[in-house]
C-alpha cells in the first residue's frame, strides 16, 4: 500500500507527471477542477511552467465523453481507473457509466527489443533457450501488456503476454497523485462525502496491484481449468508455469472464431444458437454452483472451436460470491420473475450496506418498473434491460451495494447481449430458471433449515 500523501510533490518525477496531468485536464475543459482544488498552491510551480490551452479540445462533446478522452490521454493507470469505475453505478451517474464502458484500452506497441529483454530478465534465460520460435511483431497490444506468438521447443504454440517495461513505476507515481487529488476533493469539493474519493483510490490501488501480478491471473486460470476439466463444452488455455512469472504469462495458443462472427461460424457449420445456450449455461454454472465467474465475458474474450467448444480468454477480472450473496441474488431474481415488488424491495434493502430511507417508497418505484413488464410473457422479458433499470433505481436511492454484485449483474447483462446476437430468440430466464429452482430447494432443505 502506498503512503497516500506524504511523498506527493517530493520528487521531480511526480512534479513533471503532475504538470502533464493538469495539462491534459485543462485541454479537455476541466480547468474549473484545477482551480477548485487549488492545485497551484499545492504544487510549487508558477504559470511560466504551466500554459493553459488556447481552446478546449472537443468542446462539442459532453462532460462525460471528454472525461473518457482525458483518461485515454493520461495512459494505463487512468484508463484502468475508468474501467473500474464503469462497474460502479452506485457512485456515478448513468451517462458517465455508459461513456466509461466505451473506454478504449489501447496503447502503441513497445519495441521487440524491450519485449525480449523483459522475457529474458523475468525467466532468467535467453530467448533461444526458452522458445523454438518467437514472433517479434505483437498480435495484440493494450495499456498493461502486449501479446506475442511463439513456439516452445516441445512444439506447442503459445501466446506470450508481456507487461510493459517501466509500468510499475509509472503506475506507482500515478496512484500517489490520485491519492493527493482524492484528498483535495474531500477537502475542497462539498457533497463528495458519500463518494469517498480516498476509499475509491485505496480500492483501485489494491486491484491494479493484483492485475500487475500475472501469477494471480495464472492461478485464476488454473482454478477454472481444474473445475471445468470434465466438461467438453468449455476450455481454458493451459498455463506454462515454467515460462511464466509476475510480468510474463505464457499460455496455450487458442485458434478459434470470435463469438460474434456469425458468418464464419456458419461457414464452419457451427450452430450459433447452440453456442448461446452453452455460453449461458457455463456462466450461470460459474455463478450459482461454483461461486466464482469470469467477470468480463465480452465478445473479444470468447473464441469458438468446432464442437462447438467455448474458450474464454483473459482472466484478469474474476468475480466471486459467498453463499449468502448467492442467496440474496436468488431472492431478487425470483421476485423479479414473480413480479413481486414487495419482495424485490425487501431483498434490495437486505443487500444494501446503507439503510433504506423509505421501504414503501422503494417498493413503489419497483412496482412502477415491473408494471412496464406486467403483460409480457416471460420469454419476451429482456433481463438485461430490466437489470439496467434496477441498477438505476439502486443509484437513485443511494443504496450502497458490494462492488462484486455489480460485476455479477454486468456479466449477466453482457452474456445476454452476446446470446441475443447469436440467437434472436435467446431467453436468459429460461436458462436461469433451473439454477434458481435448485438454489431454492437447497435453501429449504431440512439440513439447511436445521
Instruction: Kindly list the catalytic residues.
Output: 296
> Are the C-beta atoms of residues 400 and 352 closer than 8 Å to each other?
yes
272, three cell numbers: 450459433
Rounded Cα–Cα distance for residues 79 and 94 (Å): 18
Rounded Cα–Cα distance for residues 205 and 245 (Å): 21
Q: Strand pairing partners for 141?
A: 146
Please tell me the total number of residues recorded for the chain in this structure.
450
Rounded Cα–Cα distance for residues 10 and 148 (Å): 38
Residue carrying the nine cell digits 489501447: 106
First to last CA, the chain: 43
Rounded Cα–Cα distance for residues 425 and 272 (Å): 11
* Residue 375 neighbours by CB distance under 10 Å: 7
Q: Is 102 exposed, middle or buried (0-12, 13-18, 19+ CB in 10 A)?
A: exposed
Rounded Cα–Cα distance for residues 268 and 100 (Å): 35
> Are the C-beta atoms of residues 17 and 177 closer than 8 Å to each other?
yes
78, three cell numbers: 487512468
157, three cell numbers: 504454440
Spatial neighbors of 267 by CB under 8 A, at least 6 apart, are none
* Closest listed residue to residue 137, CA positions, set 168, 165, 115, 170: 115
Rounded Cα–Cα distance for residues 286 and 275 (Å): 16
Amino acid at each position: 500500500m502506498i503512503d497516500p500523501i506524504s511523498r506527493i510533490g517530493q520528487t521531480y518525477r511526480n512534479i513533471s507527471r503532475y504538470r502533464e496531468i493538469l495539462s491534459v485536464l485543462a485541454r479537455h475543459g476541466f480547468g474549473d477542477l484545477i482551480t477548485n482544488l487549488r492545485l497551484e498552491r499545492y504544487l510549487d510551480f508558477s504559470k511560466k511552467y504551466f500554459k493553459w490551452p488556447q481552446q478546449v479540445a472537443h468542446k462539442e462533446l459532453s462532460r462525460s465523453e471528454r472525461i473518457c478522452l482525458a483518461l485515454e490521454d493520461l495512459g494505463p493507470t487512468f484508463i484502468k481507473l475508468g474501467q473500474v469505475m464503469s462497474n460502479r453505478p452506485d457512485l456515478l451517474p448513468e451517462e458517465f457509466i455508459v461513456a466509461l464502458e466505451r473506454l478504449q484500452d489501447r496503447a502503441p506497441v513497445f519495441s521487440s527489443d524491450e519485449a525480449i529483454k523483459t522475457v529474458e530478465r523475468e525467466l532468467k534465460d535467453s530467448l533461444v533457450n526458452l522458445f523454438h520460435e518467437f514472433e517479434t511483431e505483437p498480435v495484440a497490444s493494450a495499456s498493461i501488456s502486449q501479446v506475442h506468438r511463439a513456439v516452445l521447443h516441445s512444439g506447442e504454440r503459445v501466446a506470450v503476454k508481456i507487461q510493459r517495461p517501466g509500468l510499475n513505476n509509472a503506475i506507482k507515481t500515478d496512484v500517489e497523485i490520485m491519492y493527493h487529488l482524492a484528498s483535495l476533493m474531500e477537502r475542497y469539493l462539498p457533497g463528495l462525502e458519500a463518494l469517498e474519493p480516498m476509499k475509491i483510490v485505496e480500492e483501485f490501488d489494491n486491484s491494479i496491484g493484483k492485475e500487475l501480478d500475472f501469477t494471480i491471473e495464472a492461478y485464476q486460470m488454473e482454478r477454472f481449468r481444474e473445475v471445468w476439466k470434465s466438461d467438453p463444452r468449455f476450455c481454458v488455455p493451459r498455463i506454462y508455469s515454467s515460462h511464466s512469472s509476475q510480468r510474463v504469462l505464457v499460455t496455450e495458443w487458442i485458434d478459434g472464431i470470435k463469438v460474434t462472427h456469425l458468418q464464419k461460424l456458419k461457414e464452419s457449420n457451427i450452430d450459433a444458437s447452440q453456442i448461446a445456450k452453452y455460453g449461458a449455461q457455463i456462466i450461470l454454472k460459474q455463478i450459482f454452483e461454483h461461486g466464482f465467474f469470469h467477470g468480463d465475458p465480452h465478445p473479444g474474450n470468447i473464441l469458438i472451436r468446432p464442437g462447438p467448444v467455448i474458450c474464454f480468454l483473459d482472466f484478469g477480472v474474476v468475480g466471486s460470491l459467498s453463499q449468502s450473496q448467492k442467496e440474496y441474488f436468488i431472492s431478487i431474481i425470483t421476485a423479479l420473475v414473480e413480479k413481486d415488488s414487495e419482495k424485490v424491495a425487501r431483498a434490495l434493502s437486505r443487500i444494501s450496506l446503507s439503510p433504506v430511507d423509505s421501504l414503501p417508497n422503494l417498493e413503489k418505484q419497483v412496482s412502477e418498473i415491473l408494471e412496464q413488464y406486467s403483460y409480457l410473457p416471460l420469454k419476451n422479458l429482456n433481463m438485461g434491460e430490466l437489470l439496467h433499470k434496477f441498477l438505476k433505481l439502486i443509484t437513485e436511492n443511494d443504496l450502497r451495494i458490494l462492488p462484486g454484485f455489480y460485476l455479477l449483474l454486468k456479466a449477466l447483462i453482457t452474456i445476454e447481449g452476446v446470446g441475443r446476437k447469436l440467437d434472436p430468440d435467446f431467453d436468459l430466464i429460461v436458462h436461469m430458471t433451473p439454477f434458481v429452482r435448485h438454489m431454492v430447494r437447497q435453501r429449504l432443505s431440512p439440513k439447511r433449515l436445521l
